[in-house]
Structure 1
Amino acid sequence: MSDQYVLETRNLVKEFKGFVAVDDVNLKIQKGHIHALIGPNGAGKTTVFNLLTKFLIPTRGKILFKGDDITSMKSAAIARKGVVRSFQISAVFPHMTALENIRVALQGFEGSSFSFWKSGSSLNKLNGRCMELLDSVGLAEYANTTTVELAYGRKRALELATTLAMEPELLLLDEPTQGMGAEDVDRVVELVRKAAQGRTVLMVEHNLSVVSKLCDRITVLAQGAVLTEGDYETVSADPRVREVYMGTASSGERGSTSEESETEAAR
């Protein structure tokens, strides 16, 4: 495998009781790129993410990270290697402050995640880095705000900051703009662009405007298989893509992509 690829899948397959959710998928994610997985409901996008981060075990095929076979590794081990994932639904602690959420992430990254019995003052050494991360996503002024009080877009920004706390080399973003209004979408686009500096991003995203603004390369999935791949101009001009994805979007269904629908289809 060329050194230019951070992540590669080889003939990746996932079957559920005879249903093929991921069908012989070969991905090559180039270092430093923002790479998108797009496709209609049930295309297998989130299932691929779950395979890459070992929330699901592949039926067949291999997953390589920087040339190393990580197919048999567990989720925590993959995260420690630098593959870190966000989720469709915001995964932050609602009754902690924004700073405390970042501090928990830093504890995990630094190997002190089981030190919750320690006094808060003993963890203050992490506060400087916490503030840097909060500032990087525009949340410095909300450091002491309880997360449940944050607007949805800011919660997603906080989640991004917690993933960055683990210093990922490959950042996997699952529907980062889902459920957001236009103002929040624009903010998240800029945050993702900033987060991508010095690292590689693989994202599932239903909003084609976001994909066109952010992504260097796009892989289109349909019925669990790769339909086509290329830059936005190439992919958007492909009549097969218009038929299976963009046609659906123009019919008013573009925003309906969800992890739940793919999970249901996989079952």
Structure 2
Amino acid sequence: MAPEFVLETRGLTKEFRGFTAVDSVDLRVEKGHIHALIGPNGAGKTTVFNLLTKFLTPTRGEIIYRGKPITAMKANEIARLGLVRSFQISAVFGHMSVLENVRVALQQKLGNSFHFWKSERTLRELDERAMQLLADVDLETFAQTLAIELPYGRKRALELATTLALDPVVLLLDEPTQGMGGEDVDMVVALVRRAAVNRTVLMVEHNLSVVSRLCDRITVLARGAVLAEGDYESVSANPEVREAYMGSEADAEEAHV
């Protein structure tokens, strides 16, 4: 059976005053996969994410989502279709409780930020769904904690919960383990694996150990263009990838590529 690609780019290009940040990128993300976008600093990974979610407008090329072109659509329209970037809505308000943060995200899914006129029953139903989402990311015991008081790793879990509140079909994760120590990294890996059930995930990630543990397929960018693509074993064995991504044998050994 031929693979079903839920998200594709064709010749995706972004130029800034003569500088080509993304250069004719063809990307195909298979439904149900966890797909990583990796590469050295300045490779164009975040720019690709910004193009996919329409934070930036492509200079050339096409974005296809579930078989339909979305290149001309606006960011909020794309999010409503189910292509959601984690931390895109950033509904993590430090002086609100963890539960209240998720409820705000659920209200956004309904089409408004706040529903003061809604019945107590409706708000209670939102609380029930919010608690389910908190349980999904192991935060139910923190429901009444102010978000500002959460440890860093738990804040990332809350950000993930607010994103899942939007019912994403494709979840875009931008450096989910950035700045984390080993214990928090292990927690986030488990959360991403859980969030990926019945979903497709495209992630930018610098931690190659995380990529090797999570991802079905990897696309490597260098200087804005696709350098290699495949599973972790084939990509990590590619000498061009090792040279471009690591820069030196010492770096490669440190990152276990």
TM range (shorter): over 0.9
The aligned counterpart of 2:50 is 50
CA gap 1:165/1:249 in 2 versus in 1, 3 angstroms? farther
> Could you list the per-position Cα deviations for residues 204-239 of structure 1 after superposition, in whole angstroms to 9, with x for gaps in the alignment?
000000000000000000000000000000000000
Give the residue type in structure 1 aligned to 2:251: S
The aligned counterpart of 1:243 is 243
The aligned counterpart of 1:7 is 7
Instruction: Give the Cα–Cα distance (whole angstroms) in 2 for the partners of residues 236 and 38 of structure 1.
Output: 11
Instruction: Give the Cα–Cα distance (whole angstroms) in 2 for the partners of residues 91 and 46 of structure 1.
Output: 20
The aligned counterpart of 1:16 is 16
Give 5+ residue unaligned stretches, structure 2: none
The aligned counterpart of 1:261 is none
The aligned counterpart of 1:221 is 221
**What is the TM-score of this pair, normalised by structure 2?**
0.93
The aligned counterpart of 1:142 is 142
Is 1:194 aligned to residue 229 of structure 2?
A: no
Q: After TM superposition, where is structure 1 displaced by more than 6 Å over at least 4 residues in a row?
A: none
The alignment's C-alpha RMSD in Å is 2.1
The alpha-carbon deviation at position 113 of structure 1 amounts to 2.2
Give 5+ residue unaligned stretches, structure 1: 256-267
The alpha-carbon deviation at position 119 of structure 1 amounts to 7.8
Is 1:108 aligned to residue 108 of structure 2?
A: yes
Instruction: Give the Cα–Cα distance (whole angstroms) in 2 for the partners of residues 54 and 8 of structure 1.
Output: 14
> Could you list the per-position Cα deviations for residues 64-84 of structure 1 after superposition, in whole angstroms to 9, with x for gaps in the alignment?
001110000001000000001
CA contact (8 A) 2:87 2:163 kept: no
Identity of aligned residues (%): 67
CA contact (8 A) 1:88 1:174 kept: no
CA gap 1:219/1:203 in 2 versus in 1, 3 angstroms? same
The aligned counterpart of 1:262 is none
CA gap 1:140/1:187 in 2 versus in 1, 3 angstroms? same
Question: Which has the higher mean CA deviation after the structures are superposed, 80-89 or 69-78?
Answer: 80-89
CA contact (8 A) 2:91 2:104 kept: no
Instruction: Give the Cα–Cα distance (whole angstroms) in 1 for the partners of residues 44 and 99 of structure 2.
Output: 35
CA contact (8 A) 1:3 1:66 kept: no
**What is the TM-score of this pair, normalised by structure 1?**
0.89
How many residue pairs get matched? Answer: 252
Q: Secondary structure at the match of 1:179?
A: coil
The alpha-carbon deviation at position 89 of structure 1 amounts to 11
The alpha-carbon deviation at position 86 of structure 1 amounts to 1.5
CA contact (8 A) 1:88 1:178 kept: no
